[in-house]
């Protein structure tokens, strides 16, 4: 394990009752990488992502985050989750909090920042995504694209070392996909380590440093985006790409 590896996954398996969703995943995420995970629905890509911060408990295997085995039950997972931001398909903004409070809640509650520091940080980040005038609004007053940009800001306010995106644009109206992808692109350019589960092939081609194709609970192929899209080797990937690419 080299020093610039942030996440190392070995032999990761996950079963729901009798259904084996992940059948042994091995991969490493290095600092600054933008890894895009694609695959048909039911391939286990979301489950894989959710295992990385143990929102799903892995059935078997090891996940190391900065050299610490976080699948160890004795590890305080909350401490590690502080450093792994997550963005959900359904945004999941806290409905009972304002936008500002959504962003400052965790850093203040966890004692990482004072209220003032957190609010400064929140406004700075909201400014970047063009939503500072929404600070006192409630989530229900925002469009889907705005909600997702706030959700990204909320995760970033924790100063994470890696950002996990679980189909961040799948629940958005088509005209709002662009604004969210732009924020993610800027984030990638700023050097953030990202793992993105998505169906946006354009984003994968343009922004990813590595693309992973998952199917039937295993990684079928992974490569840099150029090779991945122009010269796919795995027959399942070829079939998949022929269906999604126009």
Partner 1 sequence: MNSIINMFNDLKEEFIFNFIDGNRWKWLVDGLGVTLQVTFFSVLLGIVLGIVLALIRSTHDTNISTISNPIARNLLKFANTIAKIYLTVIRGTPVVVQLMLIYYVILVSVDSKILVASLAFGINSGAYVAEIVRSGIMSIDKGQFEAGRSLGLSYTQTMTKIIIPQALKNVLPALANEFIVLLKETSVSGYVALQDLTKAGDLIRSRTYSAFMPLIAVALIYLVLVLFFTKLVEILERRLRNSDH
Binding to partner 1, residues 1-40 (CB under 8 A): none
CB-based contact 70:80 (threshold 8 Å): yes
Stretch of 102-110, 175-183, 206-214, 235-243 contacting partner 1, by CB under 8 A? 102-110
Task: Please count the residues of this chain forming the interface with partner 1, following the rule CB under 8 A.
Answer: 33
**What are phi and psi for residue 205, nearest 5 degrees?**
-65, -40
Structural tokens at position 24: 């042994």
- Selected from 4, 26, 57, 173, the binder of partner 1 by CB under 8 A is 57
Binding flags for partner 1, 119-148, as an x/- string (CB under 8 A):
-------------------xxxx-------
What residue spans of 24-173 are helical by DSSP H?
A: 45-52, 77-81, 99-109, 115-128, 144-156
Task: Based on the shown chain and the rule CB under 8 A, indicate whether residue 78 belongs to the binding site for partner 1.
Answer: yes
Tokens 């965790």 correspond to what residue? Answer: 106
Taking the complex as a whole, the smallest distance from the CB of residue 16 to partner 1 amounts, in Å, to 11
- Residue 162 to residues 31, 40, 82, 132, 207, Cα–Cα distance (Å): 8, 24, 10, 24, 16
Stretch binding partner 1 (CB under 8 A), from 40-48, 104-112, 125-133, 198-206: 104-112
Q: Is 230 in the site for partner 1 (CB under 8 A)?
A: no
Residues 6+ apart with CB under 8 A from 74: none
Of 2, 3, 109, 242, which one interacts with partner 1 (CB under 8 A)?
109
Residue with token string 């990202």: 194
Q: Interface residues with partner 1 (CB under 8 A)?
A: 53, 55, 57, 73, 78-82, 84-86, 88, 90-97, 105-106, 109-110, 138-141, 151, 154-155, 158
């Amino acid at each position: 394990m080299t020093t610039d590896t942030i996440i190392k996954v070995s032999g990761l398996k996950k079963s729901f009752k009798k259904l084996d969703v992940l059948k042994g995943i091995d991969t490493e995420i290095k600092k600054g990488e933008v890894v895009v995970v694609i695959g048909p629905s039911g391939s286990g890509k979301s489950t894989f992502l959710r295992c990385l911060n143990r929102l799903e408990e892995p059935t078997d295997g090891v996940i190391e985050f900065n050299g610490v085995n976080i699948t160890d039950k004795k590890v305080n997972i909350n401490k590690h989750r502080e450093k792994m931001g997550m963005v959900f398909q359904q945004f999941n903004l806290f409905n009972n909090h304002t936008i500002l409070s959504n962003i400052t809640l965790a850093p203040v509650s966890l004692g990482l920042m004072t209220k003032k520091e957190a609010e400064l940080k929140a406004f700075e980040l909201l400014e970047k995504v063009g939503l500072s005038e929404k600070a006192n609004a409630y989530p229900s007053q925002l469009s889907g694209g705005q909600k997702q940009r706030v959700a990204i800001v909320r995760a970033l306010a924790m100063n994470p070392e890696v950002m996990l995106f679980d189909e961040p644009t799948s629940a958005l109206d088509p005209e709002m996909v662009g604004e969210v992808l732009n924020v993610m692109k800027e984030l990638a350019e700023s050097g953030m380590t990202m793992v993105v589960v998505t169906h946006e092939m354009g984003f994968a081609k343009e922004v990813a440093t590595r693309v992973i194709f998952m199917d039937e609970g295993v990684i079928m192929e992974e490569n840099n985006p150029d090779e991945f899209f122009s010269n796919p080797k795995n027959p399942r990937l070829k079939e998949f790409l022929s269906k999604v690419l126009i």
